[in-house]
Structure 1
Amino acid sequence: MTDLIAPLLEESITIDAPPEHVWSLVSDLARMSRWSPQVVKTIVRGRPIQLGTTMVNLNRRGLLVWPTRTKVVRFEPQQEIAFRVKDNFTIWSLTLTSDGAGGTVLTQRREAPDGVSPVSRTLTDKVLGGVTSFQAELAAGMRETLAKIKVDAER
């Protein structure tokens, strides 16, 4: 039986900083390489970042390096930024909500409601250790990303 692509991967963290401050960090997508264990570089095409902004990301896992092309598909200042990866059909987002005590709950999601592209699926199976293993790695990477954003936001 083939491993199933999870339609949603989600991780959250509470940050002791107001949403406006956290937003100032996460809405600058060029900073993602500072936090993500997989992103080496993000090249943003056009400023300010807004709905429709495109980016090229360089990703790395061990010796494997690959580019992805993305486009901002949801942009609600102080609340959410989401971008669709053209190469595999997934949507990655960061959503901010108040924790009710002056802090922020930051949630990172990887949405794949229709699965992933056939090329991505094949590469995941043949090169990245299979869907189950790679999704666990993505979830761990999300937790690491959120923890690093928390450190920067609480400085």
Structure 2
Amino acid sequence: MTSIIDLNELRLTRQIWAAASPTEVYDLISDVSAMPKWSPNLVHAEYDNGYRPTVGAWFSGRNKADGIEWDTRLKIVSADPGACFAWSVVSDGSEIVTWSYTFRSENAGTTIEESWQVKKLIPPLGTTREELLQLRTNTARSMEATLSSLAESIGNGNR
């Protein structure tokens, strides 16, 4: 299936500045149960019993887009307070997509960088080049909306 598109085409990065320290932003992002407040596609997220935001921790997510909802299993792959927080969507033992957030202190606040990278193609992502390019477009919009909402929430003191 990887012959229909180069996986490098399914990689995105977006940035925004927020009026908070890198540690404060990390604490918000690593609380996955809070993420639905900012993300237009995330309905619910919750760490498995006993897990915290550490490498190897698992959580479940419920997403929605275009009237369809689906569940995901996610594993924390990076947890460096104030610097980076990342997870991979896992299906049948394989990492399918990795999401990451990095934090850089800048101008009395933080530049937040959100990245998305497809690592393995599976049919639910799309089965044609056109479907995969539409996924990339939709994901870019979602990332921009999430970051804008997060920065606005921080600016309004709604942490």
Taking the TM superposition and a 5 Å limit, the aligned residue runs for 1:116-131 are 116-121=120-125, 124-125=126-127, 130-131=131-132
Q: Shift of residue 32 of structure 1?
A: 1.3
1:2-50 deviation digits (Å, cap 9, x = unpaired): 4444242110001122212212211111111111111110021134321
Q: Which residue of 2 aligns with 1:111?
A: 117
What amino acid sits opposite 1:54 in the alignment?
A: W
Q: Which residue of 2 aligns with 1:98?
A: 105
Alpha-carbon distance between aligned partners in 2 of 1:38 and 1:92, rounded to the nearest angstrom: 14
The SS at the match of 2:40 is coil
Q: Shift of residue 73 of structure 1?
A: 0.6
Unaligned runs of 5+ residues in structure 2 are: none
Alpha-carbon distance between aligned partners in 1 of 2:150 and 2:127, rounded to the nearest angstrom: 30
The answer to whether 1:30 aligns with 2:22 is no
Q: Which residue of 2 aligns with 1:137?
A: 138
Task: Please say if residues 25 and 153 of structure 1, whose CA atoms lie closer than 8 Å, have aligned partners that are also in contact.
Answer: no
Q: Which residue of 2 aligns with 1:9?
A: 12
Unaligned runs of 5+ residues in structure 1 are: none
The SS at the match of 1:72 is strand
Q: TM-score, normalised by structure 1?
A: 0.86
What amino acid sits opposite 1:139 in the alignment?
A: A
2:45 to 42, 56, 77: 42
1:59-81 deviation digits (Å, cap 9, x = unpaired): 11132111110000111111111
Alpha-carbon distance between aligned partners in 2 of 1:67 and 1:76, rounded to the nearest angstrom: 26
Q: Which residue of 1 aligns with 2:72?
A: 68
Task: Please say if residues 74 and 87 of structure 2, whose CA atoms lie closer than 8 Å, have aligned partners that are also in contact.
Answer: yes
Alpha-carbon distance between aligned partners in 1 of 2:23 and 2:81, rounded to the nearest angstrom: 9
The SS at the match of 2:53 is coil
What amino acid sits opposite 1:142 in the alignment?
A: M
Alpha-carbon distance between aligned partners in 1 of 2:4 and 2:27, rounded to the nearest angstrom: 41
Alpha-carbon distance between aligned partners in 2 of 1:27 and 1:153, rounded to the nearest angstrom: 15
Alpha-carbon distance between aligned partners in 1 of 2:66 and 2:110, rounded to the nearest angstrom: 33
What amino acid sits opposite 1:143 in the alignment?
A: E
Alpha-carbon distance between aligned partners in 2 of 1:82 and 1:23, rounded to the nearest angstrom: 11
